[in-house]
Amino acid sequence: MTLNALVPSSLCREAEDKREATRKIGYVARAATVFRVDRLTVYPDPDGAGRWGDGFVETVLRYAATPPYLRKEVWDRRDELECVGVLPPLRVATQTGSGSDDSGSLRQGIVTEVGSDGRVRVNCGMQHPISLAVPGDRTIKEGERVTVRISSRRPVRAKIVDQPPPGYQVDRANLDAALSRPDAGVRIAASRHGQSLTTERLGRLVGTIADAGDMTVAFGAPERGLPAILGVEPGAVDPSSVDELAAAVDTGDGTRDAVTGSGSDGPRFDLWLNTVPNQGSEVVRTEEAMFATLGPLTLTE
């Protein structure tokens, strides 16, 4: 299953300073890592942009996703990264083995030198860059990031593989484009204006997501939820139904479109879902909503 999470460029709009804004993005990165989000998309929210600039969230998320042993080589000094020392460690679990140094583990590397003999030198966090053969169907350039599978450290046995590295990948797209991807799967809007998630509905929904194969969950910003970002009144949101969604997937009709946004051509979701139905705070922050929403939705039957 491909798990996509969508967060707005305005998610730090209420932060008092850059340090607090960076820390907030760090919690978003932690949530994406804990629940094995494959793709973390930052969608633009021009009307809610804060003082940190439109690219701030995306830059810090990309930095957080970069392994510590590559950060110095990949990232120059940038204003957006002034406070990255407050970011929590992600400690991304490898896809095989129980630790980052186990046999068969995947690591992200950066190509430091391209040779003329079909080999490249790759810095992947070992004591020295290692020389690896370039797969026959690939062209690799200096500075490119690659995924390396380490099968032995003494002696070193490793190869470049055509797989994404462990952890989330960051990109940027508007909501309509992100929800129209082939691997969007069940498209869920996390909102207090959606249908309340109950234990009874959860079992049905988890099964439906498994049948669909992929899932995309969109989140709003503090004091600026998805209806405000989409430019619709909260009362105009179609809360949709878990049962209707399940029936559509079961019959092979795909997912139903709960229309929201600016007109019929606006972004569409299959389900509006309230995963904190009894919230005790007036505002649930984006990073809090991610933990509250991805936790139950990634359960298995």
Dist. CA 1–CA 18, nearest whole Å: 35
The better pLDDT of the pair 14, 238 is held by 14
Q: Output the pLDDT for position 191.
A: 92
Dist. CA 214–CA 164, nearest whole Å: 17
Q: What is the mean pLDDT of the chain?
A: 86
Instruction: Tell me the backbone φ, ψ of residue 287, rounded to 5 degrees.
Output: -65, -35
Q: What is the pLDDT of residues 188-237, one digit of tens each?
A: 999 999 999 999 999 999 999 999 899 999 999 988 889 999 888 887 77
Please say whether the beta carbons of 279 and 247 come within 8 A.
no
**In this structure, what DSSP letter does residue 67 have?**
-
**In this structure, what DSSP letter does residue 81 have?**
G
Q: Output the pLDDT for position 250.
A: 62
Q: What is the pLDDT of residues 15-45, one digit of tens each?
A: 899 999 999 999 999 999 999 999 999 999 9
295 band by pLDDT with thresholds 50, 70 and 90: very high
Q: Output the pLDDT for position 253.
A: 59
User: Which residues in 130-166 are b (16+ Cβ under 10 Å) and which e?
Assistant: bebebeeeeebeeeeebbbbbeeeeeeebebeeeebb
Q: What is the pLDDT of residues 67-122, one digit of tens each?
A: 998 998 889 889 999 999 999 999 987 654 434 444 578 888 999 999 888 899 99
Q: Output the pLDDT for position 153.
A: 83
Query: What is the rounded average pLDDT of the residues 6-12?
Result: 93
134 band by pLDDT with thresholds 50, 70 and 90: very high
Q: Output the pLDDT for position 267.
A: 59
Statement: residue 246 has pLDDT above 60: yes
Query: What is the rounded average pLDDT of the residues 264-292?
Result: 86
Q: What is the pLDDT of residues 138-149, one digit of tens each?
A: 889 998 889 999
Which pTM does this prediction carry? 0.86
Residue 241 burial (CB count, 10 A): 15
Pair type for strands 156-161 and 268-269:
unpaired
